[in-house]
Structure 1
Amino acid sequence: MPLIVRDHTWTQNQNTVYISLPLKGVKTANVHVICTDEYLKVSFPPFLFEVFLFGPINEEKSEARIGNGVAVFTLQKRRDELWEQLFTNIDKDKQKQIREQAILKVQEKEAEQSKAKAARIQQEKKYALETMMKLENEERGRIQKMKDEECARATAELDFWRETQRKTAEENENQQKTRGTGTHDNQPVYQKTERVNAPPAVTLMHNTGDTTSGQRSRKQKPKDLPAPRSAGCIQISFTPRVFPTALRESRVPEEEEWLKKQAEARRAVDTDLAELDDLREEERNPDWLKEKGDKLFMAGNYQAAVNAYNLAIKLNRKIPALFSNRAACHLKLRNLHKAIEDSSQALELLKPAVAANAPARLKAHVRRGTAFCELELYVEGLQDYQAALEIDPHNAALRADTDKIREVIQGTT
């Protein structure tokens, strides 16, 4: 049962209520606040502050500031008036109804926030995709423009070359016509044309037979190249050691032990793979293995149930019930640390906390709290029991166990 905080202070004016609450040395990360238009609850285990407000407030405009060992709440009134007192006197049934409505409202608000966050993430992904597509289209357009420009330039050069070839052909044809006319009419014209169209000087030298001297003049004397390097052989020796550290005589036993553990781990992995290969069709179903483990647990064969849950977890590590049920088996077998690990893993898989997984979270908290108490870690166990009690506040047996653990911590038992 939580410790009710009474040493709070409050002030007010016509439209605002100020509440100051000491946190008793509790970290701000462990403070949980629930606020509606007529209810305020502040939980910081093992302490609790709860108030049913005298008048309605505007929860959207209200705010809380937590720090320096105190929580200050600024509550905006819906009507401008002075309250006679902070609390209102109502019966227990009405209080229960207000609590349940507040919890439902907080859960609905968290669900809306999750949906809004998912929608925002989806919108951001869509915007990023559209931006990438736009950039890709721009890049594709730029490349296509470069291709078109290059194609146009190549076409223009080809047309220019064709026009040059056509003009050259026309000039040669005109020269041939002119040369033919000079043969019949005027010899000097032929001699002038012969001189103009004479081949280059190199060709003349070739025709006269002076090719050797011309070719020698164009050849270059080869440069002196260095002699090739002599071949060699490098001797390399390899050490047969398999351990990655340097050899020290004082560490030899430890190295041999490490190698032995590595070999055993490899054999265990190979054995697990071989077990999975040899399974029947129904044994490859995690749900079937879970039902089998549940039946073995009910029959009192806890070790066999652990083996069934182990195989189901190897097939699927995303089912919280497998870890929670295996934690129950470890509690029966007094494997308390393993029970804590499995319960913590189950709670991790049960996030986010919603109404649908509340019974599973309650079991996991109780089993981990029981393991902590068996190890005499009563403070940690009390936290788990209080978390379970928040899920099911009307569970009389759970409340009685929580009170017993608190009495042990306070030294009254």
Structure 2
Amino acid sequence: MPLQVSDYSWQQTETAVFISVPLRGVCGRDADVFCTENYLKVNFPPFLFEVFLYAPIDDESSKAKIGNDVIVFTLHKKEAAVWETLSVSGVDKEMMQRIREKSILQAQERAKEATEAKASARREDQKYTLNVMMKIEEEERKKIEDMKENERIKATKELEAWKEHQRKAEEQKRIQRKEKLHHQEKQIEEGKKLKHKSLTRNSASRNLATKGGNSEDIFFEKLKDDSIPAPRSVGSIKINFTPRVFPTALRESQVAEEEEWLHKQAEARRVMNTDIPELCDLKEEEKNPDWLKDKGNKLFATENYLAAINAYNLAIRLNNKIPLLYLNRAACHLKLKNLHKAIEDSSKAYRIMKLHLKLIHPTKLYKMMLRRFGI
């Protein structure tokens, strides 16, 4: 049974009450303080200090200070008045028990209200944070859309400029063809005129041939030289080619090396189908990395990013030397917020491109990646 502390001291003013309770050699950290508007208890085993206050106090603004083996309470009165005693008189055990239970219920209600208020404040903070994040995402989305629109307008202008250049080039070629055709017609007209002059000269020589034998022989030989041969007959020539895997002619090919290369290709395809069991159930075009890349691009355009990643994964397993496959898969990971995987695929694409294109500048490569990701 705890020992009641009776050697406490208290003082008061019209607005506050000051109570000093000795700890009697007990550590202050072991003291349990419970205070409501009508009840004050300090439990520091084996001692107990309990008081039923004369009038209600404001327990929210009241304070307790522990130090120097004593606890000092500063209790603020709800109504400014001078108390006759610290504890109310004429309290039996049943009333004490009711006051204790009422004080505990009040403390529980206050704790429940504080918990609900804290939870409500937390919900409000979360709601505010969510709204702020949604606004930021909306601004980022709008910024990206504006950048896409600007790139689209720029690409449209470049396409129009290219079409205008092509149109001018076609017009120039058409003019050159007309000039060439006119030049050929002019040459034909000149040839006809020369032919007409030759025929006229031949007729004149025949007239002179009737007047002398020697002149007849000379002009007859001249006529033979000036005669025009008959045109060739129309016909067609049929050529048959032997079908070959390689485009080189048979006389220039190396049959043994080509057969060995074909054998190695067939062996590589067989090994690839063995290493990747799922290829056995695929169609022939589905085993083509380029076909899989186009399929992944279509799925990316429809925002089916997971299916696009699967297509790029299979294409990379078939051929892991195509940097565009890694870039496309990085774009899908970026849409799904898988930032680490997007960085990993971008780094792989950069290493492959750096290996094959050693003269490319890193800044240009970075811009290419940004355009690929649609940023």
If you compute each CA radius of gyration, which structure gives the higher value, 1 or 2? 2
Which of the five TM-score ranges fits, normalised by the shorter chain?
0.3 to 0.5
TM-score by length of 2: 0.45
